[in-house]
Amino acid sequence: MQFSTLFFDLDATLYPASNGLWELIRLRIYKFMREEIGILEADIPATRDKYWKTYGTTLEGLRIHHQVKAEEYLNYVHDLPLKDFLSPDPDLYQLLSSLPQDLWVFTNADYRHANSVLNELGIKDLFKGIVDLYAQDFIVKPNPKAYHKALQLAGETEPAQCILFDDLLQNLIAAKDLGFFTSLVGQNGHSNQIDIHLESIHEMKEKIPQLWSRE
């Protein structure tokens, strides 16, 4: 199979979840729910889990049930010292820049956060575009409409020519159902429904060497 477009999730995919940034984002979400909305501390984990499972993001649940404005929430939870967690990754730059396919970021975060992360990693110039939650009109992974929107924006008509790299199984299973080749990145479980598992995005060439061949 020839692949023409590679879609990459952002957080905990292009950088390891173990660096602490994703955990800090989670704590900022909890703080927003507690201090800005007034949800009881004891109720926050279950409320967030419910919204995340139902809508794909905590934000969408907060928009629907608490009339939270997206920009206010995103500015709050992403108000973080990224330089404390991320730095230029020359090995990743070399790996991604050697790929012949079109590269896209496909994230449930917003464009500004994605841009900031890519800048800190030193890989922003390698991507043709970013499919963020605004581009998806807040209908995000794993909703099938999000994948169709990503394909449309990337100018792709055939999901089988695309790979999604993501750290969440539910996002990958939904992509697989639509015909994408799927790659789980990181430690969030295993599933025989996924095509391949990478411990780190840096294993791409070792685990999927055919990406570098046009034959």
Over residues 179-189, mean pLDDT? 90
Sign of the CA dihedral with 139 first, then 143, 147, and 149 last: negative
pLDDT tops 90 at residue 213: no
pLDDT of residue 1: 66
Name the amino acid, one letter, at 68: V
**pLDDT category of residue 214 using cuts at 50, 70 and 90:** low
Q: Cα torsion at 64, 9, 165, 61 (round to 10°)? A: -10
User: What are 61-113's pLDDT values in tens digits?
Assistant: 999 999 999 999 999 999 999 999 999 999 999 999 999 999 999 999 999 99
**pLDDT category of residue 192 using cuts at 50, 70 and 90:** confident
Q: Which fold has domain 21-77?
A: DNA polymerase; domain 1 (1.10.150)
Segments of the chain assigned to CATH 3.40.50.1000: 5-15+87-212
Segments of the chain assigned to CATH 1.10.150.450: 21-77
Class of domain 5-15+87-212: alpha beta
Please name the residue ranges forming H helices in the chain: 21-32, 44-55, 58-66, 70-77, 90-97, 111-121, 144-154, 169-177, 204-207
**pLDDT category of residue 188 using cuts at 50, 70 and 90:** confident
User: What are 136-154's pLDDT values in tens digits?
Assistant: 999 999 999 999 999 999 9
**pLDDT category of residue 56 using cuts at 50, 70 and 90:** confident
First and final C-alpha spacing in the chain: 9
Q: Residue 177 class from Cβ within 10 Å (0-12 exposed, 13-18 middle, 19+ buried)?
A: middle
User: What are 1-17's pLDDT values in tens digits?
Assistant: 689 999 999 999 999 99
